Structure 1
Amino acid sequence: MSMLGKGGIDGRGKNGTKGRRRSTWFILSILAIEVVSLSALVWNSVRIITTSHAQLIESSAVQVNDLLSHSVARGLAADDPALVQDALNLLHNNDNLVYVTVLDRSGRVVGALGNPPERFREDPGVRESGGDGVYDTASPIRLYGQRLGTLHTGHSLERGRAFTAQTRLQNTVIAGIEIVLTILATLLLGLFFTRNLRRLEEGALALSKGDYGYRIPVSGQDEFAHVAKSFNQMAENLTTAQAELEEKNRALERQARHFRTLLDGVEAVVVEGDPTTRQLTYVSQEAGNLLGHPVAEWFRPGFWLDHIHPEDQEAFLAELSGHQGEPGSFTHDFRMLHHDGHAIWVRAINAVDRDEDGALILRGLLLDVTEEKRSAERIIYLADHDPLTDLFNRGRFQEELERNVTYAQSYGHEGALLVLGLDRFKYINDTLGHGTGDYYLRRVASALNSLVGDVDILGRLGGDEFAVIRPLATAEEIRELAERIRARLARPLLESEQYTSAITASMGVVFFPRHGVHADDLLAKADAALGTAKEEGRDRLHVYHEGDEAIGRMRAKIKWEDRIRRALREDRFLFHYQPIIRLDSRIVSHYEVLLRMEAEGGELVGPGAFLDTAERFGMIGEIDRWVLENAIRVQGESRRVGRPVTLAVNLSGRHLGRADILELMNTAIESHGADPRALIFEVTETAAVENISHARQFIHSLQERGCRVALDDFGVGLSSFHYLKNLPVDMVKIDGSFVRALDRDDFDRRFVRAMSDLAESLGIESVGEFVESQRIADLLRELGVDMGQGFHLGPPTSGFLGDSRQHPNAGKGGWEE
């Protein structure tokens, strides 16, 4: 049985021990039952044989005694001992008789055979089996009913005992053999069963420990083999299921990691909490960056409400309580207090739902929208203010003028509108660059702001023109203000070796409601008075009077109409070329064609001086055609001389959708051998969005021809963000008003970044205008802008293809393209 206690696997524990004990006791119980049963069988068989033998001896003794009684009865009756002895001698060879003794009536021995024992009993029927192996009997001897004496016999028990012993031995041997065979069979069967059960047990224990690779060895085709196969199949299924589960778990873990990374990486705080108690139950890691408090502190009771700005708490609680009855979603902007003490704007995008227990739960995002709020405030500010000087812009200034005129009419007093224009400001821009010009304009604005009164309204009308509204004024007060302005501007505002002189200002003034009651009319009359001041020698104040407008118009017509017509007739228009540089490689991408007019005495006049007049007197169409025809011609000539160049040409908004302009361009491309892929036509944003359907169709026509289209002055109207996706342009030119102060205006940087990202997302290249320093060029590159244009990167120059007037960067070694 020791084998039953061995084997198995380590670490069975209590269950394994009990399993072995039960199987062992089961086998031992079978063996005990077998031994007891066989012992009882042997004992019973011996008992039966002994009893049968005793009965047989008793029956044989009775028969022998009856025969002997008859045999010796006559001898006793005759009292003849010899006759009795003769009868006894006949039994001499009977091995079963140990002795025979015949007693007469008086108890005298008449005859005897063998050696009788000394013990006798007279009472017949009383028998004794002594320990000497003799069965004693005593029976009366009768004859004719008369008792003659007593017969004593002793029957040998040896044979019966030997038979019984032999039988007992045989049965015992048989029983022993049977027990041994039973033990062996039971052991073998038990070992077979317990071994297979142990294998099943080991397999079950292995599976319980996660060892799904465990397999039970299978041999034969018996029941255990089938069970083992079923177990192995189950283990195989568990292995497959475990592998699938592990793969799913890994996938879930990857998704969870990805989700956590996504949540922790996004610039928003993911929150979950109880909307009734405002207790947060989950926040993402970004929470530590939002307010500067560790994530663990967010779970402190009352944290959320404690860190909402006191002025916003009531509105926040009202918004939250309105969504505590039923699930729903809402968005709410409010301020929260940073760890450093400053407030930030937060946008909560929330959804209220019910969890599995039916309780309300709030989930949502907290986004830092401080910059968005600042940008919105800045945009609102820019809607009314000039971004360069922070003064009221023309639109807001007109609104203020209308309001003050209405006020003056209502109360019966007189106010004044003074318009100021800087003399020779164009010289600063042309010689020192637009950056210096912008700086000077800011200095002038600051100076004017220090001179006007608290109730005066100061604004910039555009370019170098400023205006002042004095709600209640006399002519003498306006003259005093003008003198203070002239005196202040007489002091140099620039510290430049190239320009040290002060710039003077011409001023025109009108009084309302004397000279008019409409803002447009007043501004036009003030502008006419300003023109008169310039014509009369500049650096002076001129009060409007009837005739100034007519005189101004007449002078402009006489002067500019004649000069423009002469320039067209004598071919006095020419091009300057300004390079557009790729900011990453410093290589020229293309050149923008800039129109100039050669005035009397060789002075070059920019388009700002004559285009308005040309448009007013119907000559702008002829100038536009000249520009398109000659720009295409220049590109074709550049190909013929082996130095092909890409040119960008400004296209007037009035040409959008016109078939005759497309025909002119196609004809010029064919006749001059120009490459349409090297032609970029620039359309201003405002012109494009005025009629977007015509603009889109016109742009498609140009692109089908192979030309490219750029959207100029991008961002000025703040509408292109919406319309850009509907305008299939190839390039956007970010307006210089957002670029020139890029190194000192955080809003401009964010705005340029937004425009650059938008262009990039649409696969459109971007160009930053008015690049006046290396710092601005570097910032544009950091903000993702592809190209730059400005005096720092390359000023407009003349000269191209061997013609001194048409070769870019003549005498400067040129640019690599």
Structure 2
Amino acid sequence: MLVVFGVLWTIAWVWPLVMFQGDQSEAISLDEGFFVVLALLCPPGAVVLTVGAVTLVAQLIKRRPLAKVIFNSGQMLVSVAAGEATFVAIHGFHRPLTAMAVLAAVAGALVFIVVNSGAVASILGVTGTPLRAALLDGVEIRLLVNGAGVSIAIVVALVAAAYNWALPFAVLPLLVLRFVLAGHFEARSDRSRLQGLFESTLEISSSIEATRTTQSAILDSARKLLRCSDAQLSEPGAPAGPLQATLRLVDGPLVLSVAGRNRAEPFDGADRAMLDALAMVGATSLGNAALYKETRQQRERLSAITASLGEGVCAVDRLGRITFLNPAAAAMLGWDELCRTDGTWFDNDLLLSAATPSFILAHAQRAIAKLDTITNDDARFTSPNGTTHNVAVTVAPIIEGEVATGAVLTFRDITERKRFEEELARYAFYDALTGLPNRRLFMDHLDHALTRSERSGEQHAVLFADVDRFKVINDSLGHQSGDHLLMAIAQRLKASVRPGDVLSRFGGDEFTLLLEGITPEDSIACAQRILDRMREPVTLPDGHEVVTSVSIGVGLTGGGKTRDDVLRDADVAMYQAKARGRGACYKVFDVDAMGLRSAERIELEAGLRRALENDEFVVHFQPVVDLVESRVVGAEALVRWNHPTKGVLLPSDFIGVAEDTGLIMPLGLRVLEEACTLARQWRDEFGVALDIAVNLSAYQFREAGLFESVRAILEHTGVHPAQICLEITESLAMEDTERTAMVFERLKGLGVRLSIDDFGTGYSALGYLASFPVDLVKVDRSFVEGIDRDPVRSAIIGAVVSLSEAIGIAAVIEGIETEGQLEHLRSLGCRRGQGFLFARALPAQELAELLGSGQRLYPPTADERRDAEAMSTDDPSGVGREDQLTAWRVGA
């Protein structure tokens, strides 16, 4: 009997039932049951020895450490001895199975349980477990198991004592109890594992804010669920614990391993399944943590970007509520109070409750309805502080699946751009100085008026007004005074017309006026009102009072005229008015009187273009003579037009049209190239370095490419630059003295000489000569006429010659026509001159013959002059007279 139960007890120790309580496990071998059976059936001493043997054999089979073998053996011996002592003390050594014996056995079992539990609790307390927890954790299940074991043991002992043959059947209840408890503990363990896995999943999933926190939660859960002291995450191939599971991540796998578990509780398949499940949960959570981190970083970047944008950004849900707003949008909308103190986010409750501005709501609804993006749509709104904003809006729908759940809008403030565009529009259609409509807007009004007149038959008039002597005032008093004068004239013109009339500054000192729905008499009355207002003097900022006038031409619509026809008629009539005498005149276009002249001007323009193509222009040269030695020292290049039907035309017949049409530019360059070519040819042929003067028109001098054009011609012709003298008039030089000096300096850098022509006509101070890098000054012919009789003119020329010599500039006197003038000029010390007294403008061939002959030019005798005067009676043009005089002046 003792051997059978000893063996059974040994088996129970080697393969005990394991009860898990939290992260602790406890082996249950039904010791109290075996104790009760042996206490009732066997002598006390034999029981103690049997328990000692069972404990030792079981410890050796399980290869427990020596210290643990000693502790467990001692614990069991003390517990059994205490229990047996209690049993003997109550029942004695006699063994009849009475009720008292059963009570004694129960009391001994209680003592056995108490001593055994106390020993275990003391060891746990030494390792750090609180004594209360060591004694009370799981006390309910232990009491149930102990009670069941003691009860079944009493029945087994009674059956075995009465019927030895029934011993196998008596042991069966203990085996049934063991299997029942095993199933219960396994179910309890599974439930505990599932509960732990669930709690661990929640804990791990809630720690995705940081990858390190998630890893720490995974390791804590692994140690807790598998009751191990060590858990780690490592790269594949690194040292790891005995139980491992792989976490498959996007960035590469990690190995989750555990170690440090009680040897009495080896890892099994359930542990492996638990670790695999935990690895799957961990992999998902780590992936979520990485995604959360990336999402948070992107959100922070997007938040920083939207916060730094100068454009407003907002999001609207399908209900039209604003769900997001960046600081720029909040500032424009006047919702700064929604911004948190750090300026990075907004109070969503206030944001959702705020009224969505209509322009945002309208654009969002359009984008949501169309499921398409709307770009650069202009809108206008007024913020709560009363500021009006013009914005350019771009809106895109937020689409989930195929349904728009909201929209994102960006809008930038274009108020300044709109203001700038309005300013540009104003500059495009209005004159900056006077504020009047400009040519473009006037032409647009004229087009509309002509279109209306085609339907209604109304007649309109265009008045073309040009300020008389404006250039003189502008040049003498300065541009600021000229601008003030133009503004004053514009005000007077506005005061002279009806509110509906269109008055414009057509350009420069020209004004145009469109009178709609009037008669010719009305237009004349309007012109007269304008002239009457102009009679009052204008006070300029510098205190000068200027009395100015305008010349007005009137052109009438009708007869299928285009706008160009009407403007041309008004322009022609204006020039006719100016030709009558500058000073408060007007003229209505008369097709019979003026139409022919207008047609002639058009024909002349066309002829100029053909002449340039057909090379009809020739260059003549008027010699410049040394007044002392009568030698030809230079020549002035003058253009002539060999017209196919009208003969030779002088510059006065066509230069004005050439300037108006811009043809003066190619014509002037052609004259310069011809002069440079002949200057080099004569130098090579005759050894004479003749100075050739070439006039530059105002249009040429203002041309930006003048320097490059002159340089190209000099290089092409190969002429010595010092032989070429470029001339501009005094009035042109004084238009803008700073620019004149700059252009002169650049031209001077090419090596050419520079000259001021018609000096004295622009009323400039003599001191200005020193401010320009000129080589020559030509005194206008108006000062030479009557010089031998007018002491004032004589003094002026003498002063110019003296000043020129003082500053190193040569002086040339133009228009010398009499011997008296010549002798008087010689007496004033004049060295150079030109005029009909010496020669007219000669064709290039004649001048070449003169240079080749080496002859000098002498004034004609009195008899020669008398004969020449007689010839002029038969030749009113005077050309024959000039030819005769030239022939007489050539001498040895």
Question: TM-score, with normalisation over the residues of structure 1?
Answer: 0.45
Structure with more contact order per residue of length (Cα contacts < 8 Å, sep ≥ 6): 1
Larger Rg: 1
Higher helix share goes to which structure? 2
